[in-house]
Structure 1
């Protein structure tokens, strides 16, 4: 008999619960408000953040409605799914970084308050305390079942959102590592930071750097607080939130949050409430109105620090994104900014070193186009535009004795300050060897020894020194060119067009290419060939003809095509070559030297063969006097006769036949005496009673410079005199 009673009582309880639910249904909103008021002290964020407060009111009303529906229609069924607003609240808490435990506590308190309210309403509908007790027990069971089921679903939504945020942050970190620092350019690196972080993290990102960081010379004061806006990017066109333009300098107000962040090195999360904006945020009243209209609500201030140096400040701003920044966002911004700071510092160091190396290299290269009657020249030097940095390419034009000229181009392996300094040392060595008139192969042999000696002096960290070099000598009297190569690409020779033709003929001479400098023990070979007057001799480093998208053969073919139609202007020829072969910034340094050869007028050269007889000295003097008279240089006759007398006497007395006297009229007057002996004279100090030893001293005193050059079949002693100040028309060369 008890079982029917229990079923009857269960039916009566269910019916009473339905009656209670219908009684309270008109007061759903009132009940929701009362529950929120009860939670006021437990969850302050409900009232601090308007979007959470509004959604929580909707969620609470949905919870009350769901529970009343369960009591009215299916009191014996399992708890229904959590309302949509409850799931959205869980996701919102996850996005704000609020612990899920606080949300679960709110659930327990809220449902307990609702059960208390239901229990308080039961006596209004019945005086049967036994029914009230049974109803209370049933309410507790149903309520906790509902709370458990709803909590599980809300926690799942919370965790799903946290996982999604974690994946998004990991993806952002991954993008930042791949896309920030792709170049060694400070401004571009800062732009990459703003581009990455405005995709789905911030609505505005600005990067300010100290002027000392942007100073390529590295001489700026690191204590100066002046910063410059290097990059900024917004989700809105034109960056209306920013009060600065790219490149504009500024100083943050004293004691402001940005200054404290820069001084302390600690990042800051700043929430903006109300309508008052700090002066460091709104630079003017009009700017402040723009920010208030946009709804700016939170800012992250993150300092850029790398290797103990303060570089600048990054600001991350949100206004369109309703969710404000939280502590997790601050940590993420710090990680990204830290990566960017290292890349910016690398770019700063590279820029400083590149600027120093470029300054050093340009100081060491010829500053002006060398004017020489034997050749007309034009040149170009382009530093590398890639990460490699400035290299060790160089060129030079060196006047030699006998109206000759040396043309040099070289390339030191490597880049940076070390390569530029090595280039300077090698260029100095080449000039020193050229000053003693060495043959091209002999000069390269000595230069090879210099490189080997440098290798022994340098540390392992600096790497092994190696270089290539091409050394050519052009003689305008014979129109012959002698050259040797140490691992360097041969020059291109362009001759005048044949009769009836309009195009020039460009080609590579047969030049044996020796080993690069620094290997040692391997020979170099000098090649000689004749150049028609007006020929072009084009020397360059391999950066001109090779590149990532062009091989050597294609580069040489393009070079020949351009030179075949080259204009008369050498400067324009250089420009056309660079435009055709290097449309963009070169991947390697480029040195280019273009020389047009001239022939010396035969009337400006006079030669006389002399017998090995002291009596020939007087004839040599008369010959020199007659030649100078024909050239209109009689005022130089006395000095020239003394020089000829001393040089011819030494050649006859100490040299070997054949002996020849040659006078050359160019920009100077050169007197040369050659013989077949390899023994070179030297200047010495004659004692009081010595009968000889004063000849070369006399020559040195009477002339501007003198010297000796050795050839395959002897030597030449030469001396140069300056022409009279008024000049003579016969000094022009054809």
Structure 2
């Protein structure tokens, strides 16, 4: 290097190019005693400081340079670890050690640049420090450290980026040798001045802590804008300082082994070679890859949500390992379904579930959109990966291969996106089954994927595949459980005779996702409606299965029109026969809209809330508690409650009002208060209750609800007396004509003339059967006008009629066939006195 000639302020591009171009894979020390521009690439130590002044990232280079392990540095005050911290001594105190044998920092640039971290940085600063570092022989060496500090701005937690390099190699190793370099100082260069900017922008994100593409790009952009680091020689030459993460070749180590073997064969002393820096770099590279895999393992699988896991896996490799990462999964995996055994073939469909890249936004979105489903032919490397289950390495995608791959995308030309890039395809498999694969690409300017990258990618894919399989299995099991739960819960119509209904079922948290809570509504004779809410103790599939059995039993016994107390008694007996573990609470209510009353019985359940329409007052109904279903030996009592049109009945399970550590009275009070709030609809009223109870326990600091919830609300509208017509008919065939005439006349009075003929015909058939089978009691005929026209015929015979297939010569057996054809709906059920046969007709539109 020309030391004596002064040059103008314009940096010489040739010097920088030569220095970086001859760097090789490591940085070299100059031969003899002179330093030169051939010093090569100098490794950077990278440190990130957060807004609290604590170290948030400490690279492997920082550990080697400053002698502090990453585990010891993270979270410590940066002012205690870095030479950019502390007050600067006077120039005459240069290289003076402090009392602890540590370092003394001084400003090597000149006045005007603040190198003190605790004073704050409004612009980039640089400096030098003389450090005492551990030597290979166990002693200590002196290191001449140059550092650059960049203040970071933006939404992240990063406050300061510090880059440091060891300039010791640029000085003569022999103190007696003449100085080859008069002055060495850190400096800044804009990207328009020196060629090292592109390499810094490409390699710096690899050393920075794993972060999103946007955050890494933001930090690198700030560094390039403020000026990237250079080393100034003799006040007129500059060398760019760029990161080096390469791995030295093993030639030197192999040669050293050969020399040692020859010396041993000839009986000579073993050669005292200098430590192999290439070996150290290789070990460092392996360690960094292991650290990378460890970091990735900690970032993926944070939840069992399949979609979130897919995003975590994709973001874990970009930009640190690859510049583009596309994730493909089998279509059945995404849908949570099973798929056939065996190796995938050309008919297997693959779903593109994620795409992460460092290119400009939107460049990939239109060409390879997320969500596309496609097969892959046998000649592609993707097919080879998914059939063999092994990684496929393509050092660089040729134009021919790029054209072959692009054929799969029909009218979209992806060749500009992939041609010339290095590609690694890794399988995502678990339990020897290929679930999908990842396509990893690197920019042409970046180092090609190599065999070590293949091993790293395979290990990464193995860990990601296991996490994805766990998420897939959980998603599948959750889907099965929810399907089972939904299949067991009834689909209740929003309207019954004289009442409106609304329901809510809320599954619990992960521990109680599937439970035994249920609700139901059963149509009863006499335009009545049975309302049921129950809660099987425990959670899981066993509780859900038990709930299905009890719900079916309640429906069957309700169809027999058993009184509420008797129904609970029979249900208790059934539970005891099924097993000792069958325990449940149940609340059973029968609403009679004609009589305007409720008949309720309770088996260990929380009481219902009745909201009075007259004044909006809500109250907990005082019912005999009873014992849970399955206990046995405890009587059940029924309570009759008078209601008025517009009153609302709210029935729920304890999961809505009960929280661990809180008195249930708090929840019941909140239930009463929220149930009384006016709402535009029944659905809105249910939502109001759910939100109010959740807010109550949230304010109490009880956390999220863990139990499932069943909620049933009924608005008791009643049926006006003028919409009901009843007759008592003697068990005499002559009464059939009277019944037909009475029905016709009533329907004419109600303005339902279009229904007179079919209704009279069906009433004639039902009354004829009732008169024929009745014993002593009169036959009861009732018409009820509501949302439909309901007709009921009751007699004292307990034998239910059957629908028969009458032949051409048969004189009987056609009555119920006529009813089943003409009626909207019909049925028969036993009553306390006998049986009831009914049918419904749809009212004509006005």
Q: TM-score, normalised on structure 1?
A: 0.63
Contact 1:647 1:717 in 2 (8 A): no
Residues 96 and 443 from structure 1, CA distance in 2 versus in 1: closer, same or farther, beyond 3 angstroms? farther
Instruction: Label 1:598 to 1:324 Cα distance change in 2 as closer, same or farther (>3 A).
Output: same
Structure 1 unaligned runs (5+)? 1-49, 76-84, 86-90, 113-139, 457-463, 499-503, 611-615, 652-659, 675-679, 686-696, 710-714, 730-734
**Residues 728 and 706 (structure 1 numbering): CA distance in 2 closer, same or farther, change over 3 Å?**
farther
Q: Would the aligned equivalents of 2:248 and 2:279 in 1 still touch at CA under 8 Å?
A: no
**Is residue 593 of structure 1 aligned with residue 593 of structure 2?**
no
Question: Does the alignment pair 1:196 with 2:332?
Answer: no
d(CA) in 2 for partners of 1:363, 1:72? 87
Corresponding position of 2:23: 54
Rounded to whole Å, the distance in 2 between the matches of 1:723 and 1:227 is: 53
Counterpart position of 2:325: 205
With over 3 angstroms needed to count, the CA separation of the structure-2 counterparts of 1:474 and 1:453, relative to structure 1, is same
**Equivalence map 1:135-154=2 (5 Å):** 148=273, 150-151=274-275, 154=277
Q: Secondary structure at the match of 2:833?
A: strand
Match of 1:563 among 666, 671, 675: 675
Task: Select the residue among 335, 343, 349 that pairs with 1:215.
Answer: 335
Report the equivalent of 1:225: 348
In the aligned structure 1, how far is the partner of 2:373 from the partner of 2:565? 57
Separation in 2, partners of 1:649, 1:509: 41
* Aligned counterpart, 2:303: 183
Matching of residues 404-419 of structure 1 within 5 Å: 404-412=528-536
Paired position in structure 1 for 2:5: none
Corresponding position of 2:195: none
1:249 counterpart residue number: 373
SS at match of 2:622: coil
Higher helix share: 1
Contact map agreement 1:100 1:158 (CA 8 A) in 2 = no
Q: CA deviation at 1:191?
A: 0.8
Are 1:477 and 2:588 matched, yes or no?
A: no
- Give the direction of change, closer, same or farther, for the CA distance of 1:207–1:454 in structure 2 (3 Å limit): farther
Q: d(CA) in 2 for partners of 1:641 and 1:441? A: 32
Equivalence for 1:102: 253
- 2:650/2:712 contact within 8 Å kept: yes
Kindly report which structure 2 residues correspond to 1:129-140, keeping only aligned pairs within 5 A, or say none: none
Counterpart mapping for 1:600-615 below 5 A: 600-602=719-721
Shift of 1:471: 2.1
Match among 346, 354, 357 for residue 234 of structure 1: 357
Secondary structure of 1:54 counterpart = coil
* Contact 1:93 1:100 (C-alpha < 8 Å) held by counterparts: no
Deviates more, 1:446-455 or 1:399-408: 446-455
Is contact 1:262-1:312 (8 Å) kept?
Answer: yes
**Residue 573 of structure 1 aligns with which residue?**
685
Q: 1:261 aligns with which of 359, 377, 385?
A: 385
Tell me how far 1:229 sits from its aligned partner.
1.4
TM-superposed CA distance for 1:567, in Å, is 2.7
Superposed, 1:619-634 pairs within 5 Å as: 631=746
**Alpha carbons 1:232, 1:246 under 8 Å: kept:** yes
Provide structure 2 residue ranges, at least 5 long, that are not aligned to the other structure: 1-18, 36-168, 179-230, 232-241, 699-703, 748-755, 803-812, 820-825
Where 2:649 maps in the other structure, the secondary structure is strand
Query: Are 1:670 and 2:792 an aligned pair?
Result: yes
**CA distance, structure 2, for counterparts of residue 97 and residue 513 of structure 1:** 80
Is 1:716 aligned with 2:833? yes
Q: Which has more radius of gyration?
A: 1
SS of residue paired to 1:232? strand
Partner of 1:41: none
- Higher normalized contact order (CA 8 Å, seq sep 6+, divided by chain length): 1
Evaluate the alpha carbon distance shift between residue 635 and residue 72 of structure 1 in structure 2; reply closer, same or farther with a 3 A threshold. Answer: closer
Does the CA-based 8 Å contact 1:104-1:151 persist in structure 2? no
Aligned to 1:494: 611
Question: Are the aligned partners of 1:383 and 1:586 in contact in 2 as well (CA < 8 Å)?
Answer: no
1:11-26 maps to which residues of 2 (within 5 A)?
none
Give 2:521's match in structure 1, choosing from 389, 394, 397.
397
The whole-number CA distance in structure 1 between the counterparts of 2:582 and 2:295 is: 39
Separation (CA, whole Å) in 2 of partners of 1:527 and 1:175: 64
Q: Is the 8 A contact 1:394 1:411 kept in 2?
A: yes
**Farther off after superposition, 343-352 or 515-524:** 515-524
298-307 vs 357-366, greater mean Cα deviation:
357-366
Task: With the length of structure 2 as denominator, give the TM-score of the two structures.
Answer: 0.56
Q: Note the C-alpha offset of 1:439.
A: 2.5
CA distance in 1 between counterparts of 2:259 and 2:34 reads 17
Question: Helix, strand or coil: the match of 1:496?
Answer: coil
Q: Does structure 1 conserve the Cα–Cα contact (< 8 Å) formed by 2:612 and 2:646?
A: yes
- Output one character per residue of 1:294-320: Cα deviation in whole Å (capped at 9) or x when no partner: x84x44322111234321002344449
Instruction: Look up the SS of the partner of 1:206 in the other structure.
Output: strand
Distance verdict in 2 for CA 1:194–1:466, change over 3 Å = farther
Shift of 1:575: 4.4
1:210 to partner: Cα distance: 1.2
1:332: how far off? 4.0
| 2:718 partner SS | coil
Report the equivalent of 1:511.
623
> How many pairs were matched up?
580
Distance 1:403 1:640 in 2: 18
Question: What are the Cα deviations for residues 664-684 of structure 1, in whole angstroms up to 9, with x where unaligned?
Answer: 43243435578xxxxx95579
Give the 3 Å change call, closer, same or farther, for CA 206–608 of structure 1 in structure 2.
Answer: closer
How far does residue 348 in structure 1 lie from its aligned partner after superposition? 2.5
- Are the aligned partners of 1:390 and 1:589 in contact in 2 as well (CA < 8 Å)? yes
Correspondence 1:344 to 2:313 = no
Structure 1 distance, partners of 2:660, 2:441, is 41
Q: C-alpha separation between the residues in 2 aligned to 1:519 and 1:51?
A: 85
Query: Separation in 2 of the partners of 1:547 and 1:299?
Result: 54
Pairwise CA distance, 1:92? 10
Residue 310 to residue 477, structure 1, CA distance change in 2 (3 Å)? same
TM-aligned CA distance change 1:252 to 1:107, over 3 Å: same
**Equivalent pair of 2:532/2:588 in contact (CA under 8 Å):** yes
Contact 2:397 2:418 in 1 (8 A): no
Q: Which structure 2 residues correspond to residues 254-653 of structure 1 after superposition, within 5 A?
A: 254-272=378-396, 278-279=402-403, 287-290=414-417, 296=421, 298-319=422-443, 322=446, 325-367=449-491, 369=493, 371-382=495-506, 386=510, 389=513, 391-412=515-536, 421-455=545-579, 467-498=584-615, 504-545=616-657, 556-567=668-679, 569-578=681-690, 589-602=708-721, 631=746, 635=760, 649-650=775-776
For the residues of structure 2 that align with 1:63 and 1:468, how far apart are their CA atoms?
91
